[in-house]
Amino acid sequence: MTDLTQTLAPARPGLAGRLRLALCIFAVLAVVPPLAHALDEPFLIVVATRMMVFAIAALSLDLILGYGAMVSFGHAAYLGLGAYAVAILSRAGIDDLVLQLLAAMAASAVFATVTGAISLRTRGVYFIMITLAFGQMAFFFFVSFSTLGGDDGVALAARSTVLGMPLLQDAPGMFYATLALLVAVFAGLYRLTLSRFGRVLTGTRESALRMQAMGFRPFPYQLTAYVIAGCLCSVAGVMLANQAIYVSPAYMSWHRSGEMMVMLVLGGVGSLTGAMAGALVTIALEEGLARLSEHWRLGFGLILVGVALFSPGGLSGLLRRVGLVRDAK
Amino acid sequence: MFNLFLLQLLNGAQFGILLFLVAAGLTLVFGIMDFINLAHGVLYMVGGYVMAMMMGMTGNFWLSLAMVLPMTLAVGLVLELLVFRRLYDRSHLDQVLATFGLVLVLSELVRILWGSAPLSVAMPEVLAGSVPLAGPMRYPVYRLAVIGTGLAVALSLWFVIARTRVGMLLRAGAANRAMVSALGADINRLFMLVFAAGAMLAGFAGAIVSPILSVDPGMGDGILILTFVVIVIGGVGSVKGAFCAALLVGIVDTLGRMFGPIILRTMMDPAAAAQAGRTIAPMLVYILMAAVLFWRPAGLFGRAVAR
């Protein structure tokens, strides 16, 4: 009962806390390129760009997983759809980022509408598994797509242009474009989750039965959220392809989907800021540990197990217990 | 053509039997505790590596196989004690996080201990030959032995589940865990048993497949996802469902890869058929799964439970 009243209560004090934390993260990110120049470590900009790309992906997953309680194990498919939209369009001579973003989102919307409508017939473990099945279908489709390199993937000729300007060509340009998209996605989702739509979605997460009793049919809300999340994740895919100048089916393997869930759970589910922080921390950990040892997965895995066992609620849970953030959820 | 079909049917059945051995434990863990275990495929891999290691030390296939069982059982028990036990009451997400971490840890440990290169295991001489199949075709004895072993395991599992007290508790636990617990059965000890036995079966599958396929650090990943497909098609918690679904998935996958392009060729030109066949064949089992879930959202043998 307390859950429901908490969720539906307008203007909770904790909202300001997580928003402030998000703004802090953006501010820190904004000074990364000059800092990297000062330290003479240009590699940092590349790593930070990757971190933000996955932050966009994790944010999109948080909408369905955190707010809609739809645990999708096939979300990496949209990352791949975005990346392949770039590969296919640039091969056809269309290099403009805006057009590529629109195409990626359109393709993802179609895929998400069809697979989402089927997946939402199931519940719980079955939902997790059917989304996994659709993710694997997309994965194998592109693995056998031999004109685009199949299993090996395909290198892009160059990064996309933005309305004719070569904004993404250097690392800082790529960085700030990704940051702008990250801020936009965060702001959009923040507004969305506070809107009537967001409240219905959250209400469905708490109890679909009660929402139905109140006269809401959950399905259209859940499906809309599923489609929006897919579209936003494809934005991350477009940026990932541009950052790496390379596209491969590995972007959409089940490992990626699992990793995206891990980011989310690590950061804390259902607060947007947690998803973003989780993605940043996950990629930073991976990159940092990979520099220490080739067996970095051992340490990374141990950290994940440790967090799962000893810190329910991930980083947000930890911060809340330490008292740094009050009611981050 | 018919001979080829028979051959592929046997291959499919053999693959399905393997899937069943891995899926049997996992479906019970899934069904009784509502627990998502991504680390189950790693146990299959550990079975393969323990087998390769014991073969290197003893050189005797049967002795090694006999050693794999207690060792994978022990690995299962240790994992249950250290990690899984603390996660039963948590959300699916915490379980995903922990078991995903375990996959990373165990795969990396295997890489550190045995390296990334594939290892091979010699076939025992008794089973190394082949028997005549219809016409000029022959079929390896070892694969037949795998099918036979799997059927024997399935039969004994059926006996345990349908005819013993432990089996009765398992069935009851899959239907309503809280009620079984309230009636005085120690559900946690039951689960420990199921988990360890499941780990042993997965390890056993990894061990008996090692002479056919090579043992490598990635072997657990591929089988894990297919095992999920099997479990979901069969219905979570149903061993009978897992058995039928495993054979179905094994046969559909094997026949699809072989005959998909041949059937398509009758409908379109050869080049397009080859491309389409290559594209569709690996997707077939997932299409099958989506179709099954579309018409029966709780799987073929699953009960529709409101969770």
What is the span of the domain harbouring residue A294? 13-322
Closest by Cβ to A124, choosing from B83, B97, B307 = B307
- Does residue A9 surpass a pLDDT of 50? no
Q: Which of B27, B87, B100, B224 to mutate to test the interface with A (most CBs of A within 10 A)?
A: B100
Residue with tokens 């969770």: B307
- Average confidence (pLDDT) over B149-175: 88
Residue B115: its pLDDT value, please?
86
pLDDT digits (tens, 9 = 90+) for A119-166: 998 888 888 888 988 998 899 889 887 777 778 888 888 888 888 788
Q: Per-residue pLDDT tens for A246-304?
A: 999 999 988 899 999 999 988 888 889 999 999 999 999 988 898 888 888 898 999 88
> What is the rounded CA–CA span in Å between residue A67 and residue A198?
8
Q: Of B217, B256, B265, nearest to B104 (Cα)?
A: B217
The mean per-residue pLDDT over the stretch A51-64 comes to 95
Q: Which of B97, B111, B293 is the closest to A130 by Cβ? A: B293
Q: How many residues does chain A have?
A: 329
A308 near B97, Cβ under 8 Å? yes
Token pair in block for residue A279: 């993605």
Give residue A329's pLDDT.
40
Average pLDDT (B204-230) is 88
Is B299 in contact with A130 (CB distance < 8 Å)?
no
Which tokens go with B49? 């590596």
| Per-residue CA distances from A321 to A4, A62, A82, A268, A306 (Å) | 22, 22, 38, 13, 16
Question: Residue B81 and residue B256: Cα distance in Å, rounded?
Answer: 41
- Listed residue (B254, B30, B69) closest to B149, CA to CA: B69
Residue B109's alpha-carbon distances to A90, B46, B52, B102, B106, in angstroms, are: 42, 10, 15, 10, 5
A-to-B residue pairs, Cβ atoms closer than 8 angstroms? 145
Distance (Å) from the alpha carbon of A312 to chain B's nearest alpha carbon: 7
DSSP-assigned letters across all residues of B90-152: S-HHHHHHHHHHHHHHHHHHHHHHH-SS-B--PPPGGGSSEEE-STT-EEEHHHHHHHHHHHH
ipTM of this predicted structure: 0.83
pLDDT surpassing 90 at residue A327: no
User: How distant is the alpha carbon of residue B224 from its chain centre?
Assistant: 7
- How do A154-155 and B138-140 pair as beta strands? unpaired
Tell me what percent of the residues of chain A surpass a pLDDT of 90. 50
Q: What distance in Å separates residue B204's CA from the closest CA in chain A?
A: 25
Q: From CA A264, how far away is CA B91, in angstroms rounded?
A: 13
Residues 118-157, chain A: which have Cβ within 8 Å of B? 118, 121-126, 128-130, 132-134, 136-137, 140-141, 143-146
pLDDT at A11: 45
Distance of residue A228 Cα from the nearest chain B Cα, in angstroms: 22
Q: Which residues contact B250 (CB under 8 A, 6 or more apart)?
A: B12, B13, B14, B15, B16, B17, B18, B19
Residues A230/A85, Cβ–Cβ less than 8 Å: no
Strands B130-132 and B138-140 come out as: antiparallel
- Count of Cβ atoms closer than 10 Å to residue A209 Cβ: 11
pLDDT band at A184 (very low <50, low <70, confident <90, very high): very high
Report yes or no on A328 lying in a domain: no
Q: Which residues of A touch B98 (CB under 8 A)?
A: 304-305, 308-309
What residues form DSSP beta bridges with B138? B132
**Does residue A2 lie in a domain region?**
no
**CATH number where A18 lies:** 1.10.3470
Kindly report which listed range (A274-283, A306-315, B64-73, B163-172) carries the lowest average pLDDT score. Answer: A306-315
Residue A102 lies in a domain: yes
Between the CA of residue B125 and those of B119, B122, B142, B143, B150, what are the distances in Å?
19, 9, 10, 13, 20
In a domain, A246, yes or no: yes
Domain count, chain A: 1
Question: Which of the four pLDDT bands, split at 50, 70 and 90, describes residue A324?
Answer: low
> Please, are residues B217 and B42 in contact by the beta-carbon 8 Å criterion?
no
- A5 occurs within a structural domain: no
* CA pair distance A66, A63, nearest whole angstrom: 6
**Residue A209 touches partner B, C-beta closer than 8 Å:** no
- For residue A134, the chain B residue with the least C-alpha distance is B286
Q: How close is the nearest chain A Cα to the Cα of B97, in Å?
A: 5
Beta strand B130-132 with A154-155: parallel, antiparallel or unpaired? unpaired
- Cβ–Cβ < 8 Å for B204, B21: yes
Tokens linked to B14: 């053999």
* CA nearest to A137 within chain B: B283
Residues from chain A contacting residue B95 (CB–CB below 8 Å): 308
pLDDT at B189 over 90: no
Q: Measured between alpha carbons, how far is A239 from B133 in angstroms, rounded to an integer? A: 55
pLDDT of residue A180: 95
Residue A56 counted as domain residue:
yes
pLDDT tens column, B100-146 = 999 999 999 999 998 888 888 888 888 888 888 777 778 888 888 99
pLDDT averaged over chain A? 87
Which residues does chain B have within 8 Å of residue A137's beta carbon, measured at their own beta carbons? 283, 286-287, 290
Q: Is A20 in CB contact (< 8 Å) with chain B?
A: no
Tokens of A315: 């980083």
Contacting residues of B for A312, CB less than 8 Å apart: 90, 94
Quote the minimal CA–CA distance from A160 to chain B in Å.
Answer: 29
**From B37, which residue of chain A is nearest by alpha-carbon distance?**
A125
Q: pLDDT tens digits, residue range A15-40? A: 567 888 899 999 999 999 899 889 98
Asked if the Cβ–Cβ distance from B108 to A301 is below 8 Å, we say: yes
Region for B193 from its dihedrals, namely left if φ exceeds 0, alpha if ψ lies in -120 to 50, beta otherwise: alpha
Specify the range with the lowest mean pLDDT, choosing from A212-221, B87-96, B179-188, B295-304. B295-304
Confidence class of residue B304 from pLDDT cuts 50, 70 and 90?
A: low
pLDDT band at A230 (very low <50, low <70, confident <90, very high): very high
What one-character DSSP code corresponds to residue B87? G
Token readout for B38 is: 């991504």
| Closest chain A C-alpha to B241 CA, distance in angstroms | 15
For position A15, what pLDDT does the model report?
55
Residue numbers in B near A300 (CB within 8 A): 101, 104
Kindly state whether A103 is in contact with chain B, defined as any CB-CB distance less than 8 angstroms.
no
Burial of A114 (0-12, 13-18, 19+ CB in 10 A): exposed
Residues B10, B6: Cα–Cα separation, whole Å: 6
Name every chain B residue with its beta carbon within 8 A of the beta carbon of A266: 97
* Closest Cα in chain B to A297: B104
pLDDT at A6: 46
Is the CB of B34 less than 8 angstroms away from the CB of A266?
no
Chain B residues with beta carbon closer than 8 angstroms to that of A124: 34, 92, 307
Are the beta carbons of A123 and B38 separated by less than 8 Å? Answer: no
Contact B194/B188 with Cβ under 8 angstroms? no
Alpha helix (H) ranges present in chain A? 2-8, 13-30, 32-39, 43-62, 76-91, 97-119, 124-143, 171-194, 196-206, 208-213, 218-244, 254-267, 273-292, 296-310, 314-322
- Token digits for B96? 């995903």
**Interface with chain A: mutation pick from B28, B29, B108, highest number of A CBs within 10 Å:** B108
- Cβ-defined contact of A304 to B98 (cutoff 8 Å): yes
